[in-house]
Amino acid sequence: MLKLFLLVVGLLTLVLIVWNIGPGRIYEAASQLGPVGLFVLLVPSTIMYVVEAYGWKITLGPSAKNIPFWRVLAIRTAGEAVNMTTPTAYVGGEPLKAYLLRRHHVPIVEGLASVVIAKTTMTIAEVVFILMGIALAFWRVGADGSSGQTVGVALVSVGFLVLVTAALVFVQQQGLFTWLLEFLRKIGLKIHYLEVREKKLRSLDRTILDFYRDNRLTFCSSIGLFFVGWMAEALEVYVIIYFLGGPAMALSAISISALSVFIKSGTFFIPGSLGAQDGGNMLVLRAFGYSDVTGITFALIRRFRELVWIGLGLLCLALAGGRAAVIRESRADDLGNSS
């Protein structure tokens, strides 16, 4: 019920913003892209998906070495479609990736370990990207006035995110799932699903720990690849602003992209960050001197790109056997009895 309420509120917020600015003005601005612009718009996101898929692939264990890269890309695209359409802090599609990998003879423990590690390296790269974007925002818009205050609040928030990310890495090195199981026991909460899978959870922790201990170069490489992926998103911002009539500036594009990512991460509890992400993008562009028409048109064009990739992700999921088949398989042979 809460999810539905937030979805309705987000949708109403977006409709009110569009109505207030004027659908005709937005359509006129968006029509500047044309067919060529729409095609070019998808190039940066394609680069982002390919690079990030490779950033995940190098974290996979030996069982996945013979899986073609295009299959890894398709599995990740399917998982990301679930991440973008469910209010689960963008992690709802991660177990799905592991289950789809199992169809290619990757043990569930190895698959789950890879998605945890890749999510960690992606988050570290995201934090670095956001910090860089905020630093550029201070330089571009200054530290005075409401824009500077907004950036200052963002900086404090990202500082908290850095601490949380560091804590996540530390807990993983101590045994994330074992720690969680023991913590639940200490507070008197025993979850049967986890209790009967204690052996597999400990094996998962060992697999993650072994990766951190024996593959430090790969760990850093994965962070680097995901950072390139975030920079590709900044390229997308540059392309959209350019086709909307600009002026497009590379450093501003990086900052706008980083702040947009930060807004999206902070509104994960709203399905698709609907309304909040769009209004936030408009305010960010306003802080950089762009009109509200450009800001909301920018937000809606990025929504179009998201819908394209959600569609491709659902297609990949259907070709992989469909959501229902994956769920049936996972229930029949889940973490408790997989090799």
Q: What is the mean pLDDT of residues 211-232?
A: 94
Burial class (CB in 10 A: 0-12, 13-18, 19+), 67: middle
Rounded Cα–Cα distance for residues 283 and 303 (Å): 16
Rounded Cα–Cα distance for residues 83 and 121 (Å): 17
Burial class (CB in 10 A: 0-12, 13-18, 19+), 79: buried
Name which of 307, 241, 247, 237 is nearest 272 in CA terms: 307
pLDDT at 327 over 60: no
How does pLDDT run across 11-57, given as a tens digit for each residue?
898 889 889 888 888 888 888 887 888 888 899 999 999 999 999 99
How does pLDDT run across 244-303, given as a tens digit for each residue?
887 888 888 999 999 898 888 777 777 778 888 889 899 889 888 898 999 999 999 999
Q: What is the pLDDT of residue 59?
A: 92
Name which of 33, 34, 21, 38 is nearest 291 in CA terms: 21
DSSP string, 176-228: HHHHHHHHHHHTT---HHHHTTHHHHHHHHHHHHHHHHH-HHHHHHHHHHHHH
Distance of CA 113 to the CA centre of its chain: 18
**Which region among 19-33, 129-143, 148-162, 214-228 has the lowest average model confidence (pLDDT)?**
148-162
Q: What is the pLDDT of residue 102?
A: 87
How does pLDDT run across 226-238, given as a tens digit for each residue?
999 999 999 999 9
Rounded Cα–Cα distance for residues 28 and 12 (Å): 22
Distance of CA 322 to the CA centre of its chain: 22
pLDDT at 332 over 50: no
pLDDT at 339 over 50: no
Confirm if 60 and 36 have CB atoms less than 8 A apart.
Answer: no
- State the chain's mean pLDDT as an integer: 83
Distances (CA, A) of 64 to 10, 79, 201, 208: 40, 17, 20, 16
Q: What is the pLDDT of residue 141?
A: 66
Name which of 223, 49, 218 is nearest 122 in CA terms: 223
Alpha helices in 59-175 (DSSP H): 69-85, 94-102, 108-141, 145-174
pLDDT at 333 over 70: no
How does pLDDT run across 81-119, given as a tens digit for each residue?
888 877 665 677 888 898 899 888 888 888 899 999 999
pTM of the predicted model as reported, rounded to 2 decimal places:
0.85
Rounded Cα–Cα distance for residues 219 and 20 (Å): 47
Q: What is the pLDDT of residue 142?
A: 60
**Which region among 61-70, 193-202, 276-285, 318-327 has the lowest average model confidence (pLDDT)?**
318-327
Q: What is the pLDDT of residue 66?
A: 85
Rounded Cα–Cα distance for residues 282 and 300 (Å): 10
Break the chain into its structural domains and give their ranges. Answer: 35-332
How does pLDDT run across 139-151, given as a tens digit for each residue?
766 654 455 555 5
